[in-house]
A and B are shown apart, each in its own frame.
Chain A
Amino acid sequence: MTTTALAAVAETEERAPSPRRRRAWQRTIHGSPWTAVGFAAPLVIYLIAFYAYPLMRSVDLSVHDYNVRAFVQGNAEFVGLQNYVDVITSNLFKPALWNTLVFVGLSIIFQYAIGLALAVFFRHNFRLSGVLRALFLVPWLLPLIVSASTWAWMMNSDSGVVNAFLVAVGADPINWLTSPEWSLTAVIIANIWLGIPFNLVILYSGLQNIPGDVYEAASLDGAGAWKTFWRVTFPLLRPVSAITILLGLVYTLKVVDIIWIMTKGGPANSSLILSVWSYREAFGTGQPAFSPASAIGNLLILIALVFGLFYVRLQSREEH
């Protein structure tokens, strides 16, 4: 997961001073209301120039028919939503959408389940637990190209260590990256591995916020470990879980590099997800097809936004 910014909301907790103090504050500190605007102006200009404008260009690309020449001369023909129609009716759309669902769904489920199990495990105090937990962050801090190429080598059919292990325990070796049946599984495994640290850290800090006396009460009532987990930990962790999963969804949808480096979406499109398809159309072949590529990309934004809005609603509900 290209876990980019996680500062997801960092909503300002306004511990507002009392009205009188607040007025005094405004008089003294605010100075002119333009002061604040002045401090924020560079950011606003930046956002317009390097977010809004590129996005606008991407929409513009998707409603024109851009080829390389039109790109430089800027005289591409306006085709309306034709690129979107082409993409959705393309015979790659259905498999890519399906692969996206499988990739995102399985990644999230396993990342979350393993992350949660580890978080519960690390909640116990034992020697070295802090150090070991820190070490768990390593996969998340490594550049994706590093982890992806390591996994690619580990999953190499002939001399990969994964197959050596399978043979050692008596199973058949698998053509992880070169067979259409296994390529999606291979990239999902690598992606789960990448996402575990993030889930572990967030869920662990969620666990820290569950008051200890709830557990004391549970143990007084004679609840065993299993029961305590399902009746106490899991329900109390639900808000944090929801946020973890939604963030995971949004970020997993964006994944390109890991799949591109390991399989390029192949063989025979078997590990092609929407984001990789978009990347391949635009930059992955000799002939850049920016218009369909940005149409796919924009569809992806729409999907991410749906989840994103869920997330925002959840956040604001949490606040109240």
Chain B
Amino acid sequence: MARTAVSKKRSTWWKTALGVFFTAVMLFPVYWMVNVSFTQRSDLRANPPHLFPTNPTLEGYQAVAEQQLPALGVSLVVGLGCVILTIALAAPAAYAIALLKMRGGKTLNFILLVAQMIPAVVMSMGFYAIYVRLGLLNSLPGLILADSTVAVPFGVLLFTAFMSGIPRELLQAARVDGAGAWRTFRSVVMPISRNSAITVALFAFLWAWSDFIFASTLARNAEFVPVTLSIYAYIGNNTTQWNAIMATAVVASVPAAVLLVFAQRYVAAGVTAGAVKD
């Protein structure tokens, strides 16, 4: 008995070490990004490259602070705009499909599924053609609308899956208390669906924040560009200041890092939602 316990412990230790090793290999590029962001410009082309920032510099981050703050602000606005738009569209629609048993709900779900398969590059051409006429090119609302097309179908499907599980009795009780459909939605359904709303919001924000295709097609000449586009422009104009490029990359990754720390379980829920059935 005692022997099995000991051998179990030992094998666990061994597995942890292996797990740490795998994770380290997987995250090496992320480490490298951070490492380069602190490297002196003169050391960037060192051969072999320094594995640690031996003589760290904040030069890259200084460049970020001087040049990238507006772009980060734009991304923040676009991300938040997408979150609001996505939730405002998706939650009521899911309520109609899942709880009000709207006719055609299944068809709508199918359409949303197909919508997710359309490449963004095709959508971007359609948007470009429309925006040219409407004067929405290079505008924040135009970019928010286009970016939201990524998150809206996901949002509806996720909300629908969750709301279908809400016990009917709860809604009936609300009804008995005299709440109408809207009141029920606002005071009963949405508070219960809080976790789904967080998940949808996280993804809507993250996708809008990371979007490159719509930004590079619909906002390329904008006065203020989102951070993805500004990193891209930075790489194009700047082949020597890789520490500044990587510093921008690190800063642009902050939302992802924050999400990982504070919202890891929502992220995992979002990835698996719907793709795997219980």
Contact = CB atoms under 8 A, between A and B. Distances in A.
Interface string A97-141: 000000000000000000000100110111111001011111111
Given A5-B157, A55-B122, A150-B32, A243 B100 contact: no
Given A72-B132, A126-B16, A127-B12, A43 B29 contact: no
A168 B202 CA distance: 42
Contacts of A176: none
A84 to B, nearest CB: 14
B78 interface: no
A29 B175 contact: yes
Contact of B130 (A26, A53, A261, A307): A53
The secondary-structure label for the interface of chain A is helix
B232 interface: yes
A161 to B, nearest CB: 5
A159 B278 contact: no
A278 to B, nearest CB: 5
B119 A39 contact: no
Contact of B275 (A14, A26, A164, A247): A247
Contact of B231 (A25, A141, A146, A154): A146
Given A12-B105, A144-B212, A7 B274 contact: yes
Chain A, interface residues (CB within 8 Å), range: 35 or more
B121 A275 contact: yes
A65 B253 CA distance: 41
Interface in B60-106: 88-90, 92-93, 95-103, 105-106
A243 B275 contact: yes
A272 interface: no
Contacts, number: 368
A57 B232 CA distance: 28
Contacts of A46: 89, 152
A301 interface: yes
Interface stretch (A217-225, A227-235, A292-300): A292-300
Interface in B102-146: 102-103, 105-106, 108-130, 132-133, 145-146
Given A7-B274, A159-B45, A122 B109 contact: no
Interface in B1-38: 12-13, 15-16, 18-20, 22-23, 26-27, 29-30, 32-33, 36
Contact of B92 (A40, A55, A159, A243): A40
A201 B119 contact: no
A154 B260 contact: no
A158 interface: yes
A290 B125 contact: yes
Given A10-B158, A202-B275, A298-B122, 14 more contacts: A8-B157, A9-B109, A11-B109, A26-B101, A29-B99, A43-B93, A43-B108, A126-B12, A145-B212, A150-B32, A150-B249, A202-B272, A209-B278, A261-B232
Contact of B272 (A42, A201, A257): A201
26 contacts: A5-B116, A6-B271, A7-B161, A9-B275, A10-B161, A15-B165, A26-B101, A29-B181, A33-B103, A36-B101, A39-B100, A50-B146, A72-B132, A126-B15, A127-B16, A128-B19, A135-B27, A135-B260, A137-B267, A138-B260, A143-B228, A145-B210, A145-B252, A254-B119, A297-B119, A308-B117
A193 B29 CA distance: 10
Interface of B: 12-13, 15-16, 18-20, 22-23, 26-27, 29-30, 32-33, 36, 44-49, 88-90, 92-93, 95-103, 105-106, 108-130, 132-133, 145-146, 148-158, 160-161, 164-165, 168, 171-172, 175, 180-181, 184-185, 203, 206-207, 209-210, 212-213, 216-217, 220, 227-228, 231-232, 235, 242, 245-246, 249, 252-253, 256-257, 259-260, 264, 267-268, 270-278
The 7 A-B pairs with the shortest beta carbon distances in the complex, nearest first, are A54-B126, A5-B154, A10-B274, A10-B161, A143-B210, A36-B102, A36-B100
A8 B109 CA distance: 10
A154 B32 contact: yes
A201 B152 contact: no
Contacts of A139: 26-27, 29-30
Contact of B36 (A31, A153, A247): A153
B26 A304 contact: no
